[in-house]
Amino acid sequence: MIIGIETTAHTFGVGVVSKGKVLANVKDMYKPTSGGIIPNMGANHHRMVAQQIWDDALSKAGCCDKDIEAIAVSNAPGLAPCLIAGLEFAKRQATRLGVSLVPVNHCIAHLEIGQSVGATDPVLLYASGANTQIIAYASGRYRVFGETLDNGIGNFIDTFGRYVGIPFPGGPVLEGKAKNGSFIELPYSIKGMDVSFSGMLTKMKQLYYKGAKVEDLAYSMQEHAFAMLVESAERALAHTGKKELVLGGGVACNSRLQEMCRIMCEARGAKMFCPAREFLTDNGAMIAYTGEILFNAGVSKKPEDVDFDARERTDMVEVIWK
Ligand code: AMP
Ligand code: MG
């Protein structure tokens, strides 16, 4: 069995995977009572819950120490204090058990778990809190075809949520409010295949200040921001000639985004894939799942040889397992 530890940002998670099957996926999320994520507070949270989450995941999976072949850990990219807290814990466990560590890039884990639901060579729309990228595999790497030039879409949505009094994470609450909203035109910003959200955020704050309803703003924000992502994803499909779209990241939980992607895919004869909700937001199972693929491809490190990299990009990782 491979254990996976997710620790890049707000979530500390432990997953257990054996032969591509997820046996447990336990997590706990640091939720600030006001304002955004404070990295050191996130790290404190991870240190506090780590052992409990580990114990719960192993007991759910019916797994004992001797079943563990290796420990995968999301060592990049993310918030440095959170990465350090999780890596320390992973190293301690690996040393105690005498097993190796498998470093996993967090973004690539979102992509790999996305492909576990049936796609073979997809374009990936990765829409999460801090990351927003349109990615496809080409010549040995996951290449970034389009990405946000400023905020990740989830952080953009959550920032607006906080502005109107909705605590983190605002995305799911705003999705509910959007159901009763009507359309207001907002800045639509797509440059080539890159997107940007800061202009839309400023405009939404101004409109709210002038009395616009949160419901209308939430609805219009989704219509504009998601259309930008779908436009870029469609261009990546057209450019690469690929016929599959996979969704990943927490914002992909949004049913309107899923619906827009489905409509686009149907219109151009492509297939859409979306993993279950528990695998869309940050989780340990996707780290374990990817870790197992890497481990089988020969990635296996001594604990002392693994470091974190807060800024490692998706296209910096050489994909030796495909
Ligand atoms: P991740 O960083 O991948 O764990 O995803 C967390 C982000 O997903 C947060 O910014 C949430 O607000 C966002 N999110 C979760 N569910 C939804 C939803 N239904 N609609 C929009 N955003 C969502
Ligand atoms: Mg994520």
What pLDDT, in 10s, does the model give residues 148-193? 999 999 999 999 999 999 999 999 999 999 999 999 999 999 999 9
H or E, element range at 164: none
Confidence category of residue 114, pLDDT binned at 50, 70, 90 = confident
H or E, element range at 233: helix 214-240
Nearest-CA residue for ligand 1 atom 10 is 154
- Phi, psi angle pair for 275, to nearest 5°: -65, 165
Q: Does residue 171 line the site of ligand 1, with CB under 6 A?
A: yes
- Rounded to the nearest whole angstrom, what is the distance from the C-alpha of residue 315 to the centroid of ligand 1? 23
The predicted structure's pLDDT at residue 240: 95
- Rounded to the nearest whole angstrom, what is the distance from the C-alpha of residue 172 to the centroid of ligand 1? 7
The predicted structure's pLDDT at residue 26: 98
- Phi, psi angle pair for 17, to nearest 5°: -130, 140
The SS3 of residue 246 is strand
- Phi, psi angle pair for 208, to nearest 5°: -65, -45
pTM of the prediction?
Answer: 0.94
Candidate from 37, 124, 281 with most ligand 1 atoms within 8 A of CB, to mutate: 281
* Closest ligand, as measured to the CA of 177: 1
Would the pLDDT of 255 be above 90?
yes
Nearest-CA residue for ligand 1 atom 5 is 250
Tell me the C-alpha to C-alpha distance, in Å, between residue 31 and each of 22, 28, 205: 26, 9, 23
Would the pLDDT of 81 be above 90?
yes
Confidence category of residue 111, pLDDT binned at 50, 70, 90 = confident
Amino acid at 125: L
Atom of ligand 1 at shortest distance to CA of 153?
A: 10
Q: Does residue 161 line the site of ligand 1, with CB under 6 A?
A: no
Q: What is the overall mean pLDDT for the chain?
A: 96
* Closest ligand, as measured to the CA of 128: 1
Would the pLDDT of 35 be above 90?
no
The predicted structure's pLDDT at residue 33: 85
254-284 burial, b at 16+ Cβ within 10 Å, e below that, comes to beebeebbbebbeeeebebbbbeeebbbbbb
- Rounded to the nearest whole angstrom, what is the distance from the C-alpha of residue 80 to the centroid of ligand 1? 21
d(CA 178, CA 186): 15
249: left (phi over 0), alpha (psi -120 to 50) or beta: left
- Rounded to the nearest whole angstrom, what is the distance from the C-alpha of residue 77 to the centroid of ligand 2? 10
Q: Does residue 158 line the site of ligand 1, with CB under 6 A?
A: yes
Count CB neighbours of 138 within 10 A: 13
The predicted structure's pLDDT at residue 72: 98
Nearest to residue 83, comparing CAs of 321, 318, 282? 282
- Rounded to the nearest whole angstrom, what is the distance from the C-alpha of residue 141 to the centroid of ligand 2? 19
Would the pLDDT of 302 be above 90?
yes
The predicted structure's pLDDT at residue 147: 97
* Closest ligand, as measured to the CA of 6: 2
Atom of ligand 1 at shortest distance to CA of 9?
A: 2
35-72 burial, b at 16+ Cβ within 10 Å, e below that, comes to eebebeebbebbbebbeebbebbbeebebeeeebbbbb
Confidence category of residue 266, pLDDT binned at 50, 70, 90 = very high
E-assigned strand segments in 149-280: 190-191, 194-195, 244-248, 271-273
Confidence category of residue 36, pLDDT binned at 50, 70, 90 = confident
> 300 exposed, middle or buried (CB, 10 Å; 0-12, 13-18, 19+)?
middle
- Rounded to the nearest whole angstrom, what is the distance from the C-alpha of residue 130 to the centroid of ligand 1? 10
Q: Does residue 170 line the site of ligand 1, with CB under 6 A?
A: yes
- Rounded to the nearest whole angstrom, what is the distance from the C-alpha of residue 229 to the centroid of ligand 1? 15
Query: ω into residue 187 within 30 of 0, thus cis?
Result: no
Nearest to residue 230, comparing CAs of 215, 200, 252, 204? 252
The predicted structure's pLDDT at residue 34: 84
Q: Which residues pair with 195 in a beta bridge?
A: 148, 190
CB 194 within 8 A of CB 148: yes
Atom of ligand 1 at shortest distance to CA of 152?
A: 10
The predicted structure's pLDDT at residue 290: 98
Q: Does residue 167 line the site of ligand 1, with CB under 6 A?
A: no
Cα radius of gyration rounded to whole Å, the chain: 19
Atom of ligand 1 at shortest distance to CA of 130?
A: 2
d(CA 99, CA 113): 24
Residues 191-239 have pLDDT tens digits of 999 999 999 999 999 999 999 999 999 999 999 999 999 999 999 999 9
CB 252 within 8 A of CB 258: yes
CB atoms within 5 A of ion ligand 2 belong to: 128, 282
